[in-house]
Structure 1
Amino acid sequence: MLFALIAVIMAAALILMPQEAFEASVRGLNIWLEIVFPSLLPFLIIAEMLIAFGVVKLLGVFLEPLMRPLFKVPGVGGFVWAMGLASGNPSGAKLTARLRDEGQLSRIEAERLVSFTSSSNPLFIFGAVSIGFFNNAKLGILLGLTHYAANIFVGLVMRFYGRNEEKKNLNRSKKDTSIFPIMTALKSMHRTRLNDQRPFGKILGDAVNSSIQTLLMIGGFIIIFSVINKLLFHLHITSFFASIFSSLFHTLHLPSTLSIPFISGLFEITLGSQLTSQAGGATLLTQAIIVSALLAFGGFSIQAQVASILAETDIRFKPFFLARLIHTFFAAILTLILWKPVYLRLSTSENTSITEFVFSMETQGLSSTIFSFFLNYGALITILSLAGYTLLLYIQYRKSI
């Protein structure tokens, strides 16, 4: 009854406010078309191929001594972690679900892994937030450091998750105890490749097919949550919840003007980060704390994407959501702790070699250059990719008849 009532209210809001809904849809579509699709597609395709060729299995053997003691996950989790850091949400969930389907992860290990491989990519943190919204390259260093450091803390906390259940289901097969790890790794890669009988063309086609289907699903979530966020604002529901959070913000010595950006960011982090950067009466420190918390939480839009991916497996969503709350807490606290030693020191230090290395004065940094490239050519890349995907589906259809 509750879900039916919410659906009726949203449908009525769409009818009463078509212009606002259309503008929000276009905004969400532009984000997906210009940034999300072209930036995620190469990572997802390459990841699928690396899994198929057994390279991930090889890396898992080498990373086992690191990932198992620290995070209680197999070595293949190191690959998922690295890809999640580089490409951002929801790549970690996609790859975790893929490895779970192949039996390389137990359910508890998969739930641990997906909890700390969910993060925003550097392009969004440095390009969109720090330079695009705040026009402050040094802030990106602080946000990136706190975001990824907090994710490590989440992984260390979640290693204790599911210990009792794991003991009950502990039934590991005997592992290769070769004294030559590189030979063990190569054997694992070779066995994985032999088990996959698909030719190279089929592997590439399946990788493109799976990746674009995932990105189409992500695009749908981005658009619908952009519309929901806009409608909630015009229905004054956002302001209602903001009034509740304003008292909490007052207790935490945060400006009440940040309450509406915070509520908006709970649904969609791009809009929340933008509104936070424009909030009046707030210091840069308080703005950084709110943005850091929103980046860690991910927004309901990203969480819905992850939930949709995990629903195809037996991986439970509840541990992931719990990890997002832990990540939010750690990220906000680390931003407060590292404000003076990191941001203020970078701002006042005469030696700016670190920032000059990351951000050149002429181009406003590598992230800004890449971000501008996607704004200019991202839509073209997306359209060409979708055209290739349509052609691939047509060829597969012709072969099937």
Structure 2
Amino acid sequence: MVFKRLTAFLFLIAALLLAVVMIGYPEASWQAGVRGLAIWWDVLFPSLFPFFVISEVMLGFGIVHFLGKLLDPLMKPVFRIPGNGGFVLAMGFASGYPVSAKLATKLREQRLVSRIEGERLVSFTTSSDPIFLIGAVSVGFFGNPKLAGALALSHYGGALLIGLVMRFYRPDRDEPASSEEGVGSGRFSLKLALQAMHEARIQDGRRLGELLRQAVVSSLQLMTVVGGLVVFFSVILEVLTASGFMSSLYGGFRHLLPLLGLPSQLAEPLMGGLFEVTLGAKAAAAPEGIPLMYKAAAAAFILSWGGLSVHAQVASILNGADLRYFPFLAARFLHAVLSAGLLLLIWNPLMGSAPAWAIASPKFGQDEVLYGWQALPGAFRFFLVTMAILLILSFLSSFIHRLRQRK
């Protein structure tokens, strides 16, 4: 009780101080608000809103139950979550934060995952989308398409490592999330998957028009929350910078980084990335006289941490269910450290030899007609590839399990 009162008092003091600073710097606040609103409307809304609607519709049609049955032989033994988590993993990796939190909350509301399983799921499926990582960070900010492979491997590889770590999170509290038969049976069965999808569709019962209407309304409400938080943190960061508070933090951080074996010039990007991922990743590419390896490691750290803006978005979504925020916070910090360490570890083998498989720079402004696979949106392609890999691994896991049972 005392701790809650102290926390509430500190939040009140912080809010009053921020209000005073915003009044003192009205022009900076207005410009930052406009910039944050532009980021939400131009980038976040068109990239996230379709995924929110599609995921709601797929849940209503039972497609998530279908994929959950197929992926159960893989997700249960590896990550200690039901197979439905495989869909969240693929959607989270393809569309970026905070889609996985939205989906995990939906699964929890439908009792498809337990509380502990939901917290594990959100902790390692929250990631940057490949379009932002490749197009914005690697190509746009760093101007180096070959950096995309190393950043993607460290970022998504680090997320999977977090998943392996989180399987040991409160194993004594594991409990069945639902009473469905066949969950966790270790069988890769298309018949069981189709049956689960059919039963889920009947249980849902909504017609297509009603399902689509509710999906759009729910997604618009969430996008409003996301946009408000982006604008809020954009204003906060700008007024703190204008007041000189951030300069003091930069100065203290510059003395700390050399103790960790890192260049002191990375203090500003890392502190900026603490608040907002886009500004931090852009600042990481700016310092001159620093080896590219360290700048890329700073970008990997920032992308995996996500920024307080993303944290606030996820916390607001988790608040709709009984999922707790602290496991997500601990996993984000561990993911950031692991991603930066992985990038430094794989830098020489990958970037030292300028790999030929590095992702090429996208070509904009050309009248080029794309067909087939290349015509699909990048995020959707990434989702399909991720799902294909997960299904293959799930089939192999089920096959090996059956061989062991025969022996």
Which TM-score bucket, shorter chain as reference? 0.7 to 0.9
CA distance in 2, matches of 1:80, 1:179: 20
2:341 aligned with 1:339, yes or no?
no
243 and 327 in structure 1: CA distance in 2 versus 1, 3 angstrom threshold: same
Q: Which residue of 2 aligns with 1:152?
A: 160
2:13 aligned with 1:9, yes or no?
no
Name which of 94, 100, 106 aligns with 2:102.
94
**How far 1:363 moved relative to its partner?**
7.1
160 and 46 in structure 1: CA distance in 2 versus 1, 3 angstrom threshold: same
2:280 aligned with 1:255, yes or no?
no
Which amino acid is the alignment partner of residue 82 of structure 1? A
Indicate conservation of the 8 Å contact 2:79/2:163, yes or no.
yes
Q: Which residue of 2 aligns with 1:296?
A: 304
2:67 aligned with 1:59, yes or no?
yes
Q: Which residue of 2 aligns with 1:175?
A: 181
Structure 1 runs (4+) greater than 4 angstroms displaced: 169-172, 177-180, 360-366
Q: Which residue of 1 aligns with 2:242?
A: 234
| TM-score w.r.t. length of structure 2 | 0.84
Name which of 219, 223, 245 aligns with 1:211.
219
CA distance in 2, matches of 1:268, 1:279: 18
Summarize deviations over 1:60-87 as a string: whole Å, max 9, x none.
0000001011100000000000000010
Which amino acid is the alignment partner of residue 131 of structure 1? V
**How far 1:190 moved relative to its partner?**
0.8
| TM-score w.r.t. length of structure 1 | 0.85
Summarize deviations over 1:1-53 as a string: whole Å, max 9, x none.
21111111111111110111111111111111111100111111111111100
Indicate conservation of the 8 Å contact 1:257/1:281, yes or no.
no
Correspondence list, 1:29-178, <5 A: 29-166=37-174, 169=175, 173=179, 175-176=181-182
How many residue pairs match? The answer is 361
Q: Which residue of 2 aligns with 1:322?
A: 330
Which amino acid is the alignment partner of residue 137 of structure 2? V
The percentage of counterpart residues that share the same residue type is 42
Indicate conservation of the 8 Å contact 2:114/2:177, yes or no.
no
305 and 131 in structure 1: CA distance in 2 versus 1, 3 angstrom threshold: same
**How far 1:362 moved relative to its partner?**
7.5
Question: What residue ranges of structure 1 are gaps of 5+ in the alignment?
Answer: 372-401
Q: Which secondary structure does the structure 1 equivalent of 2:323 belong to?
A: coil
Which amino acid is the alignment partner of residue 350 of structure 2? V
**How far 1:370 moved relative to its partner?**
11
Deviates more, 1:270-279 or 1:55-64: 270-279
Indicate conservation of the 8 Å contact 2:127/2:159, yes or no.
yes
Which amino acid is the alignment partner of residue 359 of structure 1? S
Q: Which residue of 2 aligns with 1:199?
A: 207
Which amino acid is the alignment partner of residue 81 of structure 1? L
CA distance in 1, matches of 2:15, 2:153: 40
Which amino acid is the alignment partner of residue 40 of structure 2? W
Q: Which residue of 2 aligns with 1:394?
A: none
Which amino acid is the alignment partner of residue 252 of structure 1? L
Q: Which residue of 1 aligns with 2:389?
A: none
Question: What residue ranges of structure 2 are gaps of 5+ in the alignment?
Answer: 1-8, 378-407
